[in-house]
Each structure stands twice: as structure tokens, then as C-alpha cells.
Structure 1
Amino acid sequence: MFLRSKPHRTGAPLRKAVTPSSPEQALPVDDESRLSLLKEFTDLPDQEAPLLSPGLEEMLGQLILERKQAERLVAAGLVPTRSAIFVGQPGLGKTLTARWLASQLGVPLYVLDLTAVMSSLLGRSGNNLRAALDFAKQRPCVLLLDEIDAIAKRRSDDSDVGELKRLVTVILQEVDEWPSTGVLLAATNHPELIDPALWRRFDLVVEFKTPEPVAVKEAIKRFLGPDFALFARWVDILTFAFRGQSFSDIGREIQRFRRAVALGTAPDVDLIEEFIKARALSLDRQGRIDMAVLLAKQTRLSQHSISDITGVSRDTIRKYTTDGPAVVPKKRRREG
């Protein structure tokens, strides 16, 4: 996570939002396909907060505070944060965080639909992008340019046609001139593809990392919901097994467990054993040993079953789970 000491162009005056001709103005569409260029999400302020690291919570909390106290900042000659780029692998909650952020600010979230924006006709993609951006600038909102690497690649990339390079120029201009009445967000899974000039334009660079064990455990509890009591004894085991996984992966697997239990197709023990056995295949030797030791200490599974699940021999399991004899320190001889 990186936080600039001050927003881009701090001394720039605040731009007034252009008043739309109609408060219920329809979303812009592609002239050829008639597909909407934007997807709209309107969530209530009491929407459940996404699972975030303490650092992310602090950073986004500061952004929300700045937006809600914008008048105080203006009075002090400062500008609230207007733009941010979310960086991280898929499934870590970037889009969900954008929705939550908009809900906390009490404004809609508009997400740029790349499928509709990109056109095979020369020049139309640029026109579509400008239409979507102009629409968002005319009202208080949060605009998310998801998968921005698809339209803001390095301009030195010789494989890209001139049309894509023109799109980069459009985005660079818009980030610089985005009005303070809204927030412009971008998200990418491939930061290495983005034009370097774009990074300097954003007020915040927010890095979403693979969740730590504490966040994994919290995610498991949240995804289990009313079925938590049934799986409570497995939470520590699952926390270990899900390490390195995204929130999306965790949620998908937990939902599978809950459906199976609800339909009576498998008991919780069988589900967990099957899952751990599959996960053990991707672990290195020490990881499988750690898993086996955890199973031996926190479940009633036999060493034979644990060995079958993890691929760790029973001798190794015994070696790591049997307490050795206590070492009694030798008494020091008195001198003299």
C-alpha cells in the first residue's frame, strides 16, 4: 500500500460539477450495439464492510473522512482525495470495496463496462470512453475503471494499435481533471502492463494482498454464517488449509460445504477430509507435516487417517506430536 503525502495537483482549484439536464438521465450506450457503457450499483450505507487489512481500513477510512469533510479541507486550501487505483490479484475484494466505498459516501457506483466500450470501428472506443467519463463527471458518484490495464497499457507497447494509445491519453487527461465532486477509481490485476505515466496521476495507490491468517479466519466465520456452529471445530484447520487463497476462493469453497450439508449429501467430516486431501497435494513437505500435526492435535482423527489425508507417514506424525523428555539443566559447580 502506498499513500501520497498530498493529492495530485494539490493547489488546483476545485472544479464545479456540471449540472445534468435531467437528474434521471439514462446511462450512456454504444451507438452501434445499444449496450450500456456503465453498470450502476446503489448500495445502502449499512452494507457489510469488506474484509480489509488494518492498513487498508485506515487508508480507506481517511479517504471517506476527507470526502465527508471536504468543505473543511477547501477552507484550509486543500483538496480531498479524488482518485485511487486498486492493485491486486483477482478475488481479493477490489470491486466489493469500491461498492462499499460508494455506499459510505452515499453515492452510486458506476463501473465501466469494457465489453460495451471497446468497438471494432475506428474512433468509436474513444468516443464511448469519453461519453462514460462525461456522464460520471456530471453527478456525485464513484466511477470504477475495472481492468484498466486493458485500456491503459504502456504506450511503448508496439503490439497495440493507435486507438488504444489514444485511450491512454484520454484517461491521463481525465484523472488530472477529475472534479472534486466525485471519486475516480481504477482496478488492475496486472500493474506491470499499465502506462507508467498513469501511476503518477492517482492520489492513492491501494495494494490488496493475499489475506493474512487472521483475515482468513474472519472470512471463514463470515462465510459460514448460520452454519458456523456445525463447522466451528474445523475453523483452525480450514484457516491453515486456505492460506494463500483469495477471499473469493474461500467463499466459493465454504458455500459448497454448506450446500452439501443442507442437502444431506455429505457430513462435515467427509467434506473437510476431502478438501484437505486435495489441498495437501499443493503443499510442500513441511506444509504437509504442519497440516498433519494440526490435525493430530486438534481432531480425533487417527494417525492412519491423517497419514492417508496428508501423505505424511505415521512415524513422522508421531515424531512431531510426541513430547520428548524434559531436559533438566545441569547445576553449575561452585567455584572455590
Structure 2
Amino acid sequence: MENFATVLAICRTAMRSPNPTLIRNIGKLCDALAKQGHGDQAESLSLVLATKKATDSLAPTRVVLAAASVERMTRSVQAPVDKESGAPLASVVFPGEGEKGLEPILDAPLSKAIEALVAEWQSAAMLIKAGIRPPLNLLLYGAPGTGKTALAKVIAEQMELPLVTARLDGLISSFLGTTARNIANLFEFANRYDCILLLDEFDAVAKVRDDPHELGEIKRVVNTLLQCLDDRRERGFTIAITNHEHLLDAAIWRRFDSRVEIPRPGAQSRVRMVARFLSGVPVEEVDIDFLAWLTDGRSGAEIETLCNSIKRYLVMNGTGRKSLLDALRVNALLSADHSDSPRQAIFADDSEKLARRLSSDEEIRFTQESLARLFNTTQSTISRWTRK
């Protein structure tokens, strides 16, 4: 149907004050579109009617977060675009479409906190009925590669909602006023549908407004963002991600009900990460423990990069005790700057010093037997090394 987007917008507006004649005519239009082979258009109109019925129900199955009704998003929905360049302002991933098996591995206390937050989001309707405002937005911050984006995707899967992802650095335009308009269009789109809005690279536009290096345009952009965040707090779920939380404007920071730091992984989380990333190659438990020890202070992404390097070497040169250590030494040479990785510098130094260090580690326990396996030597040799 030509100009269907305009017709849909008119129907959506009219349904704010519906009457039986309007509902009957929209139903006839749905039937006509279906008969003409325009199934997607017929479904979109049907959702307008279905949404209104849901909001009129005394016991809705979906939480109604604002007076304005929201629609269920279908795969035919097109994300808004930058009117100057035509580039999409966001991408949409529906439940079940994301990559499996890539859930972030978090330390136990943080994992429990995230589970509690998701439970509150899933119980939003119950909280609203009890007169309690649920926390509908979340700011995730921390070093690059710690799994913030992956965590947002997992939350969307658990909520069974589409994830509308916008990299805010992609909304910035050289045309005066276009950036603020892009932000407004993005939020208007998200507010129309039942979804989770993910704002990646959040610091790109949520900067401190008194930054002397920024022009007046950034102040207008941040003001627009503040208004949009305030409006969405009553309409839907929002997750923002930044690697540079210190750059955020204080007013932006206060807009978020939940602010969670995603730290670099602890010892046990690193053990689980190494085991996941080295799946498919024959390695022993002591190898996994050693790599977890070696990667102290590294992000999940850096651990994955190291494990992929080891897997490539083992596939090309064969497995075995010597091959694994050789693979690590090759990686150490290819990543020769050890200034921020003292443990890797020790590994590149000598085995005796490393064995003594491992035998006294308090986080990951290494026995003389496991160290003998690691260094491909005897327990008596390990005993002699560690006594020095």
C-alpha cells in the first residue's frame, strides 16, 4: 500500500481516542491488506488495535509504563535514519537472534546483583501496581573489553524484548542541530515500541557541558538527551554503556536509577573464561589455572585474544606440554610490552622464579604435582626450585 507509513501514523494517533466506527474501519483495512498480499502492513495495523485492547484490560499481561500505548515490534519495522546521510540511527536484534554461548562471565557478587535487577524489570507490572516505581534504566561502565555490551544483550534475551542498539558516536553530525534531532528521533522510535534501548559509546554525546574544548552545540545535544531520558523513564527500559564514566555530565549520571561498574575479572572468573576460550583443544587443568594466573588484570577481551593465539599455535604446531609453553612464549614476544603485565614478564624470564611465585599464590592453588606437569619436569625438581 502506497504511503502506508502515513496511514499507520494517522491510525495510531486516532486510536488514542477510539470509537467503534474507527475500530471497525481499521479492521476492514487490515482484512483488505491481508487479501492483497500485504501481510506485514496488515500485522502492523492489527498491533495498533491489539495494543489498545491490552491497555484497556483490567489485568494487562504486559507492563504499561506510560499513558501512551506501546506496540509490539515486528521484523518489518525499519529503524530511523539520519535525514542528511541516510545512515540508520540504530540496529534491532530480536530475542533468539543473538549469538549463543557468549554470555559474559561475571564475579559471583556482581552476577547476583544483575540477576536481582533483571528480576525487578521482569516484575515491573507488580511493582507499579503496588505503587512502587521500578528502576527502568541502567548505566554500565568500566574498562573496554569487560563484557558490558554482551551483558546488555543477555538482559534483553532474558526480558524477551527486542534490543534497539545505537552507537551514540554514530548519531553525531557535522550539520548544526542534526545531532540533537537524531537523538530525539531515536528516542521517539524506541518509545513507540516494547523494547530495550541500548545506548553504546554513551560518553560520545553525554559529555560534561562545561568542557572548555567543546562548542556550544554539545550543550544543546546534552540538554536534548536529558529531556529524552526523563521522558523515557516512564516509558521503557534503557541501558547505557561507557568506557569513560568520568566524562559524563553530572546531570546525566543522576538520571540513571542503577549504575553498575563492570570490573576486570577476578581469579575464578578468569579460570572459567580460559576454559571457555580454549574449548576444543586438549589442555589440562593446570594449564587453565596458569593462564588464569597469568592474565591477572586483563579484561575478558584480552584473555580471549591470548587464548585464540594459543589455539592457533597448537593447531599449527601440535599439542603437548612443550607446545603450550612455546605458544605462550611466542605470544609474549608478539606482545612484547610487559610494562602493564608484570606476571607475563616473569614468565618470559625464567622457570625457577616463576615456579616459586606460583607455589605461593593465594588465589589459585598450584601443587608440586601440577607445577611438574606445567613445566614438564619432575616433582623433585619443583621441590628444589621452590626451596630456594
- State the TM-score, normalized to the length of structure 2: 0.69
1:85–1:270 CA distance, 2 compared to 1 (3 A): same
Higher relative contact order (CA 8 A, sep 6+): 1
CA contact (8 A) 2:107 2:269 kept: yes
CA contact (8 A) 1:219 1:250 kept: yes
Match of 1:15 among 45, 63, 66: 66
Shift of 1:181: 5.0
Shift of 1:268: 2.5
Q: How many residues align?
A: 298
Shift of 1:223: 1.0
Q: Deviations over 1:143-168 (max 9, x none)?
A: 11112111011111122112211111
1:191–1:302 CA distance, 2 compared to 1 (3 A): same
2:103 paired with 1:38 = no
Matches within 5 A, 1:179-190: 179-180=233-234, 182-190=236-244
2:376 paired with 1:322 = no
1:271–1:181 CA distance, 2 compared to 1 (3 A): same
Q: Secondary structure at the match of 2:283?
A: helix
Shift of 1:18: 4.0
2:206 aligned residue: 152
1:77 aligned residue: 131
CA contact (8 A) 2:156 2:196 kept: yes
1:240 aligned residue: 293
Q: Deviations over 1:114-170 (max 9, x none)?
A: 354111110011111111111111111111111211101111112211221111112
More moved, 283-292 vs 115-124: 283-292
1:159–1:269 CA distance, 2 compared to 1 (3 A): closer
The 1-side partners of 2:270 and 2:73 are apart by 45
1:73–1:111 CA distance, 2 compared to 1 (3 A): same
Residue segments in structure 1 that go unaligned for 5+ positions in a row: 1-12, 304-313, 324-336
Shift of 1:252: 1.3
2:108 paired with 1:54 = yes
Q: Deviations over 1:272-329 (max 9, x none)?
A: 34346767944559983863425684123569xxxxxxxxxx9xx9886027xxxxxx
Return the letter of the residue paired with 2:300.
F
Q: Which has the higher helix share?
A: 2
1:143–1:234 CA distance, 2 compared to 1 (3 A): same
1:103–1:28 CA distance, 2 compared to 1 (3 A): same
The 2-side partners of 1:248 and 1:284 are apart by 19
2:173 aligned residue: 119
Return the letter of the residue paired with 1:268.
L
Q: Deviations over 1:244-275 (max 9, x none)?
A: 00000011111122123223478323103434
2:263 paired with 1:213 = no
Q: Deviations over 1:191-212 (max 9, x none)?
A: 1111011111100000011111
More moved, 175-184 vs 34-43: 175-184
Residue segments in structure 2 that go unaligned for 5+ positions in a row: 1-63, 347-351, 360-367
Identity %: 30
CA contact (8 A) 1:39 1:113 kept: no
The 1-side partners of 2:332 and 2:153 are apart by 33
Shift of 1:17: 4.7
The 2-side partners of 1:181 and 1:14 are apart by 5
Shift of 1:188: 1.1
Return the letter of the residue paired with 1:270.
D
1:179–1:268 CA distance, 2 compared to 1 (3 A): same
1:269 aligned residue: 325
1:209–1:115 CA distance, 2 compared to 1 (3 A): closer
CA contact (8 A) 1:111 1:143 kept: yes
2:345 paired with 1:293 = no
CA contact (8 A) 1:211 1:245 kept: yes
